[in-house]
Structure 1
Amino acid sequence: MPGKVLIVDDEVSIRRLLRNTLERAGYAVIEAMDGREALTGAALHQPDAILLDLGLPDRDGLGLIPLLRRDGDAVILVVSARDATEEKVAALDLGADDFVSKPFDSEELLARLRVALRHRGGGDAAQKVIRRGDLSIDLDARIVQRDGVDVHLTRKEQDVLGVLARHIGRVVTHDRIITAAWGRDEDPRVEYLRIVIRNLRQKIEFPAPVGSVIANELGVGYRLRGEG
């Protein structure tokens, strides 16, 4: 799976840490220290993924996301100390695939990157049947099974799980889930979404030590874990 990754960060020490982490995992690395270099590097090298800091010296990183998304299909993983809920939601809504807060755990970052690359390349998320452990989700037939036994879900639980499954390994914001599962004509509260998620967890999650299938990104949204 390893390919080319463009690191966009103005801090030399962070770029060095990310380079070492990525190269040990087999990735080729390109570096950029600001927005101008990022756009040039993305156009010249056509990276498979971009690790993007938001606090760049020449422009706000959020403004780069739609430009990078417009000109290519690289995975965009925001890696930033600007981890307020509003920043995370804005980055995801602008087209970022995921958000990792600084300081970060290198192994978690690599795992998030692998999942996002699989999704972008038509891996897990493109499959009609998604499997995690003994859980299988048939997106077309709307059938969910644990260890081969059907799990009864309400229509709304099916809708919400389907949204998460189609973006497996990626954070889906509350607004995106609500729009996809309820439609634009309805306006349910986030609290109602939380009730649906709670009921889903009771029906499909694993006992310890495997644990949670649906991860809560506090104040931002939910993610169906793609590994484990």
Structure 2
Amino acid sequence: MNVLMIEDNESVSEMMQMFFLNEGWDATFKYDGKEGLDTFLENPDKWDMITLDLNLPTMDGMSVCREVRKISNTVPIIMLTARDSESDQVIGLEMGADDYVTKPFSPLTLIARIKALHRRSEIGDHTADGNERSDEQFDVETEHFRMNTKTREAYLDNQPIDGLTPKEFDLLYTLAKKPRQVFSREQLLEMVWDYQYFGDERTVDAHIKKLRQKIEKVGPQVIQTVWGVGYKFDDSGVA
């Protein structure tokens, strides 16, 4: 795995370098937001993962995340935020980050989050049915909606839902493959983010908000809130 860590605290980077080496990963460290973004832009396809601090010199993490997402909707991004910056965490997710880890953090926690996020991305790239499946076959297909996990494409009434990040796509797929079934936030955290629920529902809510915005650009809303419970996919009301 090629990891780009954009972090202005050199002691944190030095600590994580040992853990990355232990995993056999190639890691590049940048201590400035603009420099980190330029490194990504030199070869966007190179990176399997970006960890991104919010408070960076020259260019803050929010801006870096926004610019990365203009180039790539597929590279996974984990934001590193201060423990008490709830608004920053939500905004970071809305900017396109797939997950966040609060500071101070355990290196093993960050490694586990990276592995979980990378594993979900790999599942999207290499579907369980192997290479024999045609790109035109859909894993989810209803009267109004289709999804293909191999091409990572989703359509509502034949209109492509563009710009889905890895987590947004996985979240939509998890809901859509079981239409009208209600999923709690805890269940979605375990199924989509691949880690146990620890009382933080903002990750799910922020991704649902962004997902709805992208769906509404092409048609009626198919992600429904079940108050007091969670969310469900339901396209039965689409005209």
Structure-1-length-normalised TM-score: 0.61
SS state of the match for residue 17, structure 1?
helix
> Could you give the per-residue CA deviations for residues 117-138 of structure 1, whole angstroms, max 9, x where no partner exists?
1222334996669xxxxxxx98
Please point out which of 182, 192, 196 is paired with 1:167: 192
Gaps of 5+ in 1: 130-136, 144-154, 198-228
- Name the residue aligned to 2:58: 58
Tell me the distance in 2 between the aligned counterparts of 1:93 and 1:125.
27
Tell me the distance in 2 between the aligned counterparts of 1:138 and 1:10.
36
Tell me the distance in 2 between the aligned counterparts of 1:87 and 1:105.
20
1:82–1:55 distance in 2 versus 1, CA, 3 Å = farther
> Could you give the per-residue CA deviations for residues 157-178 of structure 1, whole angstroms, max 9, x where no partner exists?
1597896677343874325447
RMSD: 3.9
Decide whether the 8 Å contact of 2:34 with 2:64 is kept in 1: no
1:160–1:68 distance in 2 versus 1, CA, 3 Å = same
Please point out which of 12, 19, 22 is paired with 1:21: 19
Tell me the distance in 2 between the aligned counterparts of 1:141 and 1:186.
12
Tell me the distance in 2 between the aligned counterparts of 1:140 and 1:174.
17
SS state of the match for residue 111, structure 2?
helix
Residue 26 of structure 1: CA displacement?
1.1
Between the two proteins, what is the percent identity of the paired residues?
26
1:6–1:158 distance in 2 versus 1, CA, 3 Å = closer
Decide whether the 8 Å contact of 1:9 with 1:34 is kept in 2: yes
Map of 1:1-228 to 2, 5 A cutoff? 3-45=1-43, 46-72=46-72, 73-81=74-82, 83-123=84-124, 142=178, 155=180, 157-158=182-183, 167-169=192-194, 172-174=203-205, 176-177=207-208, 184=221, 193=227, 195-197=228-230
Decide whether the 8 Å contact of 2:8 with 2:56 is kept in 1: yes
State which drifts further: 117-126 or 36-45: 117-126
Decide whether the 8 Å contact of 1:34 with 1:56 is kept in 2: yes
Gaps of 5+ in 2: 129-138, 141-172, 196-201, 213-219, 231-239
State the aligned residue count: 173
SS state of the match for residue 121, structure 1?
helix
SS state of the match for residue 182, structure 2?
helix
Decide whether the 8 Å contact of 2:90 with 2:206 is kept in 1: no
Residue 39 of structure 1: CA displacement?
1.3
